[in-house]
Amino acid sequence: MEGKLIAIMGIDGSGKTTLVGNLQKCGSGIENWKCMSIFDNSIFTEELEMVARQQGKTRRECFSKELRSITWRSDLINNVFRYVIPELEKGSTIILDRYTLCNKVYSNLERSGLGYMDKILEVLPSPDLGIYLDVDIDVALRRINKRTGKERAPYEKKEGLIDLERKYKKLMLQEGYPIVKINANLSEKEVTRSALDAIIRVINRDKGKDMYER
């Protein structure tokens, strides 16, 4: 495919969604520069959400971790085939808020004896670059504590964040594509600049040097 696929990853509170939003602003005047979330246009997860709302509960209260994980994985595969791959075929640079590695880390199906289901993710295109936002646990916690409007999930608490960080560092070694680590304790501007520099380097491997420079 002509395009480039960039995956943003990191624990909760590392600034993934903020970074993708800032990168969207940076590329607002660039043709074929698109930032997406794998949670956009969800079908299967939304069905679980609808049932949970009818019961006056959350998805976590109604459904097992395994079912929620497999549902999220199904939405990921559906969204990549319907929205991401067509853009890559057109030559777009796609920046995703979370991707396959995040799905593996948060699902942790291996612990349930369902690790073989990671094979399903092999049908998806491999990223040209992964960007891991490396953040101190206490910094991540402070950012999470500023959020309002929803109950904190287990993985948003200190023990959960430590576990997620451990899984990321283990699984990153098994990925077959380049991953750069960015110090996510820095300011939004500094993190965005570092991420943009890494993305430009990947693009410039195959395209004109000045095409994406600003």
- pLDDT by residue (tens digit) across 55-91? 999 888 999 989 999 999 999 999 999 999 999 999 9
Q: Is the residue at 94 inside a domain?
A: yes
Quick one: pLDDT band at residue 97, thresholds 50, 70, 90?
Answer: very high
Least confident of 21-35, 102-116, 199-213: 199-213
Q: Domain range spanning residue 126? A: 4-203
Q: Say if 175 falls within a structural domain.
A: yes
What token pair was written down for 7? Answer: 């995956």
Is the pTM higher than 0.85? The answer reads yes
Domain assignment present for 47 = yes
Report the C-alpha gap between 92 and 117 in whole angstroms.
29
How many domains are there within the chain? 1
For the cut 50, the answer to whether the pLDDT of residue 213 exceeds it is no
Helix (H, G, I), strand (E, B) or coil at 134: strand
Does the pLDDT of residue 177 top 50, yes or no? yes
Confidence band (pLDDT; 50, 70, 90) for 113? confident
Which of helix, strand or coil describes residue 102? helix
Is it the case that residue 208 has pLDDT exceeding 70?
A: no
Does 210 map to a domain? no
> Is residue 208 one of the residues assigned to a domain?
no
Structure tokens belonging to residue 165: 């960080």
**CA dist., res. 109 & res. 94, Å (int):** 27
CATH number at residue 68: 3.40.50.300
| Residue 96 falls inside a structural domain | yes
Is 21 within a domain?
Answer: yes
Look at residues 4, 2, 59 and name the one whose alpha carbon lies nearest to residue 200: 4
pLDDT tens-digit readout, 115-156: 888 899 999 999 999 999 999 999 999 999 887 666 678 888
Residue 65: inside a domain:
yes
Question: Over the chain, what is the mean pLDDT?
Answer: 90
